[in-house]
Amino acid sequence: WVTGATAGIGRAIALELASRGADVGVSGRREDRLREVIREIEKLGRRGLVVPCDVTDESAVMFAVEAVARDLGRLDVVVANAGFGVSGRIENLEAADWRRQFETNVIGLAMTARYSIAELKKTRGRIALVGSVSSMVSVPAQGPYSASKAAVRAIGQTLSMELEGTGVTCTTIH
């Protein structure tokens, strides 16, 4: 299951997984774009599943995990990729800008992990968190994005320790 699969990194990951023989559930907010990705997955000879999901909606994340596990038969890999970047100088950004950034990139990612873990324990699967080198090297006008990706790095390190011995592994991609 790949979140944020409508474009960019998420779309590329979904297609790469399919090219390596995986059936893939794809999520995002734009169902029409998800259907385009599914058509490409099916051209690769694999099964795809559209599961519209805004990761800022906890119940939508819970439903998406259930739908992917049920409709594809199991959940082996979760790629928590949904995210975006808020840009601007800190002196010009409002609290709402920071909240928007963290709701998706941090809380949405954490809820994706939270609700996936039970299914991943059944298959001894893997969760991949899409972070960024920006978690370690900040640049001007990218404070919210860099801070959110630093949180992703911390979540990945924590999950790796918390999942020890469960059969589930966590990889953070920067």
Active-site residues: which are they? 145
The enclosing H or E element of 77 equals: strand 77-80
Rg of the chain, C-alpha, whole Å: 16
CA 2 – CA 26 distance, rounded (Å): 5
Residue 36 tokens, joined: 């385009």
| Torsion sign across C-alpha atoms 51, 55, 61, 63 | negative
Provide DSSP, 86-147: --S-GGG--HHHHHHHHIIIIIIHHHHHHHHHHHHHHHT-EEEEE--GGGTS--TT-HHHHH
